[in-house]
């Protein structure tokens, strides 16, 4: 039975469950909504619907966080990251428009396997405390925005690593990242819109999903103190590894 734009009741129900789970994980860990939602949604929806949809939903969250924490933003660091971030979005958009769904799924699967393997390796072998100069702002921001634009998430990890290595305090780090990602989202939304990906059915689907992302975030934040972060990260990495392998062998 078709509900909207050719999407069946099963597709809409799966999308709601996937987004609820992804944003619950985001509430638990503080990141990863797009990275988690994309492979789950890829089981029932095409990538050219999933990535613009995720971007629209996540932008609502970053808008709230940016307004709430605006006084903590470290503007000198943010200014270094904005230009390469926009450049990464532009390059990612050009590639996203030109690739078909199968190629995007294969690229996503490969990325998830590498990302999950890296995350598990960090937990097994540890990650040394790093310090880096501002020279690394350009490659970190551009690469991160490129990955985010192509897959709907995951690239932010590079910016997280960079800003941690710059030694920002927790509140400053959170505020600076949220503001940067909001700027990235604005550029991505404009690009996806100009390319024609925000058709009526995608916008209606996004509106239907809003209660689920709010509910997932609310529950995740309240469960956050009851689950050890290290345990959660390991479980999440294994899930992403399995999702990546599944996409590659489909």
The pair of three-digit structure tokens given for residue 129, joined into one six-digit string? 């405390």
Whole-model pTM over 0.75:
yes
Alpha helices by DSSP H, 153-228 = 156-165, 170-194, 200-223
Query: Roughly what angle, to the nearest 10 degrees, separates helices 101-125 and 47-68?
Result: 50
Give the pLDDT mean for 153-182: 80
pLDDT per position as a tens digit, 185-232: 999 999 999 999 999 989 999 999 999 998 998 898 787 666 676 776
Q: What is the largest CA-CA distance in the chain?
A: 56
pLDDT per position as a tens digit, 116-126: 888 788 777 77
pLDDT per position as a tens digit, 46-88: 999 999 999 999 888 888 878 888 888 889 989 999 999 999 9
The 3-state DSSP class for residue 7 equals: strand
Residues 6+ apart with CB under 8 A from 26: 32, 33, 36, 61, 216, 217, 220
């Amino acid at each position: 039975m078709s509900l909207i734009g050719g999407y069946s009741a099963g597709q809409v129900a799966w999308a709601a469950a996937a987004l609820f789970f992804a944003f619950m994980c985001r509430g638990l860990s503080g990141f990863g909504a797009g990275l988690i939602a994309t492979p789950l949604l890829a089981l029932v929806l095409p990538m050219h619907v999933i990535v613009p949809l995720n971007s629209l939903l996540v932008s609502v969250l970053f808008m709230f966080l940016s307004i709430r924490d605006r006084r903590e933003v470290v503007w000198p660091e943010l200014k270094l990251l904005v230009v390469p971030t926009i450049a990464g979005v532009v390059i990612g958009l050009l590639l996203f428009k030109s690739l078909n769904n199968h190629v995007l799924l294969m690229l996503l699967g490969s990325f998830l396997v590498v990302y999950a393997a890296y995350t598990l390796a960090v937990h097994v072998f540890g990650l040394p405390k790093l310090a880096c100069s501002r020279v690394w702002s350009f490659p970190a921001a551009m690469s991160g925005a490129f990955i985010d634009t192509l897959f709907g998430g995951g690239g932010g990890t590079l910016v997280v690593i960079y800003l941690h290595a710059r030694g920002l305090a927790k509140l400053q780090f959170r505020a600076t990242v949220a503001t940067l990602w909001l700027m990235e989202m604005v550029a991505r939304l404009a690009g996806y819109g100009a390319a024609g990906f925000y058709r009526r059915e995608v916008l209606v689907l996004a509106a239907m999903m809003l209660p689920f992302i709010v509910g997932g975030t609310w529950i995740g934040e309240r469960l956050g103190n009851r689950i050890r972060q290290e345990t959660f990260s390991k479980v999440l990495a294994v899930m992403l590894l399995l999702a990546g392998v599944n996409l590659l062998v489909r």
